[in-house]
Amino acid sequence: MRSAVTYGENVIGSRRGHTGHQHLPWVALDAEGATEEHGEVYSCALAWSGSWRIAVHQLPDGTVQISGGMGHDDCGVTVLEPGASIATPVFAGLWSGDGFGGASRAWHAYQREYVIPDADTVRPVLYNSWEATGFDITEEQQRALARKAAALGVELFVVDDAWFGGRVSDRSGLGDWTPNPDRFPGGLKPLADEVHGLGMRFGIWVEPEMVNPDSDLYRAHPDWAQHQPGRGRAEFRNQLVLDLSREDVRAYLWDRLDALLTGAPIDFVKWDFNRSFTDAGRPGAAGPEPWWAHGRHLYELLDRLRAAHPAVAFESCSGGGGRVDLGILSRVDQVWTSDNTDPLDRLAIQHGFSQLHPARVMAAWVTDSPHAQLNGRTSSLRFRFVSAMAGVLDIGADLARWSESELAEAREWVDLYKEIRPLVQLGDLYRLRPPEGGLSAVQYVRGDEAVVLAWLGAQAYGQEQAPVRLRGLDPAASYACPDTGETYRGAVLMRRGLRTGLKGDLDAGVFRLRRVGRV
């Protein structure tokens, strides 16, 4: 979203106890009409995963100030005792003279160098079982899905919700982090061992900061949930937020999660957070401590788990992309971008995400068609895969329902993604055309190689799509494209463009380029 800077304060933020779905904690200001590749852009991003506030203030003399930090209203007030100290989150600033695209590439490079753990390693192709099974899961069902996923070339198999406690719906079980004995009689280890035997890593879903009233944990410790004295406890998604400002809550979470990761060969944890704060408080506790303490103790818990289990990767999820910021990204390996997995909608979501964050952390799912969750839109496997290949490729469909021809085609897309993955996840991103209904495209460049992903939402009047002008190439070099069978001069690709040949509705293509010499 772009808006004009006006006199006075323009404020964005979150009062929800987490980063929030409405805004990333980031702003960018252009000087005198910067474009994607030209002009000055000033931007700032906050490294904090709790409530936050960023204000852009234009003074009467025209000077513009940007301020940002944790907290919002009273939840940002911290009273320090004599001799005590507190470290405020980093509020990073960046200037680019190469437009919004140049600012994005600088932010991406900064995060890969200084923020993201193990950022120089590519993330694996992931399969998640949630949309195939929902809450109705069994060990044998997961084994069958794992075999199908392995046949596609998947590298990481993740069991989502409902493997633990009495979790048969979203009304029960949160907080009881032990495998359900009816569904997994031998615990998670037998399934994890089979997944490893199939050549994949093994992962699970957790939501440690939450509790269902219908759980053993809540029945034993109802006082562990956030609660404002004198108010009824408000539930959302049938759950409450645990009070991480309590030492006994933090000790319980550490004991349960450490035992879970020690007791089974788990390689990946999808860490969810589905409920905003509404009752932040604790009887007998003074001030707004739960607001800022929750984020700090979350960081401490993640840091401690990563130190104790360095081989385990983590993903941040929050009802979709509700907790994506520089603070959480310094502690996780990737983030869940949005619960909206419609491939056409995702082009706009991914376009916005890329303004600040690199493809290396952007999880993107291929799901079933028609898209049942939101709009019933039908799209081809080609369009769904090419959309998801713009980030960390994940698959979240019910593979048991896919035909043999669909499975074979999916294997080809996975193989292709693995070829271009180093460029997508580690290369420089150029947004060639925004997703505005017609032809859109992005390009990744790394060393002598480049790849273009292009999508056509709809073709009007049968018109052939105009060539897409590429960027970041050597104009004096020649580039071979195995996908068109042609060899092009870099100058031609950058000035005249690449013809994609896309047509119809919801078409997509992948175009690889390799420098083969200089003219």
CB-based contacts of 32, cutoff 8 Å, min separation 6? 39, 40
Residue 440, token pair as written in the block:
């859109």
Mean pLDDT by 10 residues, the chain (519 residues): 84 90 92 91 96 92 91 69 87 96 97 96 97 94 97 98 94 96 96 98 97 97 88 86 93 97 97 90 64 89 97 95 96 96 95 97 95 82 98 96 97 98 98 94 97 94 90 96 92 96 95 88
Name which of 55, 89, 2 is nearest 325 in CA terms: 89
Is residue 339 annotated as part of the catalytic site, yes or no? yes
Rg of the chain over all Cα atoms, to the nearest angstrom: 24
> What is the model's pLDDT at position 87?
84
> What is the model's pLDDT at position 462?
79
pTM: 0.94
Q: Where are the beta strands (DSSP E) in 140-286?
A: 156-159, 201-206, 210-211, 240-241, 268-271
- Contact between residue 353 and residue 372 where contact means Cβ atoms under 8 Å apart: no
Which CATH number does the domain 126-426 belong to among 3.40.50.300, 3.40.190.10, 3.20.20.70, 3.30.200.20?
3.20.20.70
CATH of domain 430-518: 2.60.40.1180
How many other CB atoms are there within 10 angstroms of residue 248's CB atom? 11
* Helix ranges restricted to H, 171-319: 189-197, 216-220, 247-263, 289-308
Q: Which of 214, 272, 325, 342 is catalytic?
A: 272
Question: Strand, coil or helix: what is 377?
Answer: coil
Q: How far is CA 275 from the centre of its chain?
A: 17
Q: Provide the 8-state DSSP code for 81.
A: P
> What is the model's pLDDT at position 131?
93
> What is the model's pLDDT at position 237?
87
Question: Strand, coil or helix: what is 303?
Answer: helix
Q: Evaluate the CA torsion angle 234, 239, 241, 242 in order and state its sign.
A: positive
Question: Strand, coil or helix: what is 219?
Answer: helix
| Domain boundaries, given as residue ranges, for the chain | 8-114, 126-426, 430-518
Q: Evaluate the CA torsion angle 117, 123, 124, 127 in order and state its sign.
A: positive
Q: Provide the 8-state DSSP code for 1.
A: -
Q: Which of 193, 216, 223, 339 is catalytic?
A: 339
Is residue 248 annotated as part of the catalytic site, yes or no? no
Geometric angle at alpha carbon 425, from 422 and 430, rounded to 5°: 105
